[in-house]
Amino acid sequence: MPLRVLFASSEAVPFAKTGGLADVAGALPKALAALGHDVRLILPAYRAIGAEIETRKLGPPWEVRLGPRSVSVTIKASGALEGVTTYLVDCPEFFDRDTLYGQPDDAERFALFCRATLEFVRQGKWKPQVIHSNDWQTGLIPVMLKTEYAGDSGLASIGTLHTIHNLAYQGIFERSVLAKVVLDESLFAMDKLEFYGQVNYLKGGLVFADMLNTVSKTYSQEIQTPEYGARLDGVLAQRRADLFGILNGIDYDEWNPATDKLIEARYDARTVAAKAKNKAALQRRYKLPVREDVPLFGLVSRLAAQKGLDLLAEALVHLMRLDVQFAILGTGEPQYHELLSGLAARYDDKMGVALTFDNPLAHQVYAGADMFLMPSHYEPCGLGQMISLRYGTIPIVRRTGGLADTVEDYNAESGNGTGFVFEERSPLALMGAMARGMLTIKTKPAWDKLVQNAMAVDFSWNRSAAQYVDLYQRVIDRHGG
């Protein structure tokens, strides 16, 4: 029987994006709809949503309580996401801003979004069986549903699943926000929203949602430990029976070297020799010497310590002595901009750097590099390594989170494996994995087998969507079916 699910997210492709959450919110509802389920998406109507996205108003404006006043809200609908009706909470006072997050009134903005979502459901004819909330921005949906809306007959049967995409971002605010967003003071308790003297929106979702999940099995285990738990490990350990890990998928309509119009030469596992044309094109793009015999490492990333840039920065000083090339794309912390720009200027035959966000160039890096670097300190799921596998670009990753769940360490004796995995958080361990890659690429039969292994792995959304359906059914069963 088809399930009815409302997917609540603070961002989603193609409407608005700052990170991986938007990719998931754009792809998972589509995959669920393709399985025959009635899945609808709701997010704020940001200024960033361009005029090319067609919308229509669903009725007149209505009022939503926020502190001592009411705020006017309109719901718009869009069909821009294939097969998925999308609702946009339009409130220019709070969402007509230059950026999605980082505003001084974020506590009020996303509390409004949560309450408007529930009011929209309460007043509407379509009733989901499950509301699937995501990250801190929607963490108050399960809270409100089980407190102020607990006696509402129109909402009482709705279950909740809350997904943690990155535990590091929690939505922590001063205690005074409770009054500003009309939340009862009784919620300021250790077993509810209180968090070291402040209010934590993500903790609210973790405590009040019926079921929880995160975006890989290993990360679901890691976040129950002090090392990775970001001071919420105790809460998560208490809810371990309700906490699951489901890998994200990737959209193979977008990330497919056989159909990719943004790369120099299209190819699949049978015609992977054409990858050499993409390597040459990438070398030209980065103004590196065009050489087939030099190992070319690619990196597409936020340039931050969490992504292992501190490890790479120390390693690069030594790696510049070797016959290697790097094609780096991303933006992030100023010290890495400065370091990488300096190395590119000094070693212009080895290092090319583009300090920007450039989607076509990202496709070209995935297609043209020999190996792909993801030395993350932690990685809830990671998409880069899954994309690189699809393109036959061998990932070099640290064994953590989703990287551990998606990349099998290469075994030179058996020929099994899909990449090079290291454990220790150190530049030396990273260089060791890279050295294994540089050694393997010199032996063409072994390298060709490794590339075939990589391209054969399937991380489409179909499998992940089916696991979400099972989780939704568990939530529904808790509410009497």
Alpha-carbon gap, residue 129 to 155, rounded angstroms: 9
| Residue pair 368/281 in contact by the 8 Å Cβ criterion | yes
Alpha-carbon gap, residue 52 to 139, rounded angstroms: 30
Q: Where are the beta strands (DSSP E) in 230-361?
A: 243-245, 296-300, 325-329, 351-354
Q: Where are the beta strands (DSSP E) in 79-189?
A: 86-90, 130-134, 159-164, 172-173
pLDDT score of 51: 79
What is the chain's pLDDT, residue by residue, as a tens digit (481 residues)? 899 999 999 999 999 998 889 999 999 999 999 999 999 999 999 999 987 899 999 999 999 999 889 999 999 999 999 899 999 999 999 999 999 999 999 999 999 999 999 999 999 999 999 999 999 999 999 999 999 999 888 898 999 999 999 999 999 999 999 999 999 999 999 999 999 999 999 999 999 999 999 999 999 999 999 999 999 999 999 999 999 999 999 989 889 999 999 999 999 999 999 999 999 999 999 999 999 999 999 999 999 999 999 999 999 999 999 999 999 999 999 999 999 999 999 999 999 999 998 999 999 999 999 999 999 999 999 999 999 999 999 999 999 999 999 999 999 999 999 999 999 999 999 999 999 999 999 999 999 999 999 999 999 998 999 999 999 999 999 987 6
The three-class DSSP label of residue 478 is helix
Domains of the chain: 4-249+462-478 (3.40.50.2000), 272-458 (3.40.50.2000)
The three-class DSSP label of residue 243 is strand
CA dihedral 347, 350, 352, 353 (to 10 degrees): -60
pLDDT score of 481: 60
pLDDT score of 97: 94
Q: Which helix (H) or strand (E) holds 115?
A: helix 106-123
| Residue pair 283/289 in contact by the 8 Å Cβ criterion | yes
- DSSP per-residue codes, 383-418: SHHHHHHHTT-EEEEESSHHHHHH-PBP-TTT---S
